Every structure is written in structure tokens, then in C-alpha cells.
Amino acid sequence: MINEKKFEFYETSTTLLWFLMDGLWMMGFKILSAIIALPAVIAACLVLIYASKTPHLLAIVAGSTWLFMDICWMIGENFKINWLHMTSKVMFWITFLFLVYGLTKSRNYRESVFEVLSGFRRFKIKNE
């Protein structure tokens, strides 16, 4: 697989695992949702490895910190681990700062907003 295809595969895998993890958490499957978090983190790390240095990179990092925020929140809440709940709040601000920095980095603000936010959304639909 070429790097772009690997990137798309791991990004889609991350999104699906994240969706499954959140759904299981919502339905009260504490242990199962925590187990699904591990492959979601691995897939998210692989997304970061295959991400190219584009305006999307900061949005991709923000997406990963958003996932880590969600996992810390879930595990902190499910297993009453207060420091993980606090870590999720810190991860929220880190995600926010990555997005703001990505938005202000470009010379052409209008294109930058579109590029950064299109990299941040979870599902990407291609017109081919």
C-alpha cells in the first residue's frame, strides 16, 4: 500500500473504532469500550506516522488529541480515575490550540480555514 492509501486506511479505521468505542461506552459496556480504545489509539498513532506535512497535519494532530481526550474522559468516568478526567480537560485545550494555530498559520486565511477544518472532520467523502 502506498502511504496515502495507508493513511486513509488507518484514518478510517480510527474513526470506526472511535465510533464503536463511544457507542459501547454510551450503552454501558465499560470494559469492552476500554478494550476498543487500545486499537483506536494504535490506529491514530499510525495515522500520525503516515500524515504528510500539509496544512492538514495540525488538524490531524488535533483529531488525535480529541480521540485521546475522549478516551481519558471515558476511562476516568467509567473507572472513577480522577486524574484521567482532568487529563481529558487538558487534552480539550490542546486540541483547541492545535486547531487555532492551524487556522492562523496560513497566509490565505479563507483557504486555511477550509483546509484545516476539512482535515479535522471524521468522515471524508470523495467525489471520484
Domain boundaries, the chain: 3-120
**pLDDT digit string (tens) for 30-83?**
999 999 999 999 999 998 888 875 557 888 888 899 999 999 999 999 999 999
11-15, 41-45, 71-75, 117-121: the lowest-pLDDT one: 117-121
DSSP 106: S
Predicted local distance difference test score (pLDDT) of residue 111: 62
Q: Is 121 left (phi over 0), alpha (psi -120 to 50) or beta?
A: beta
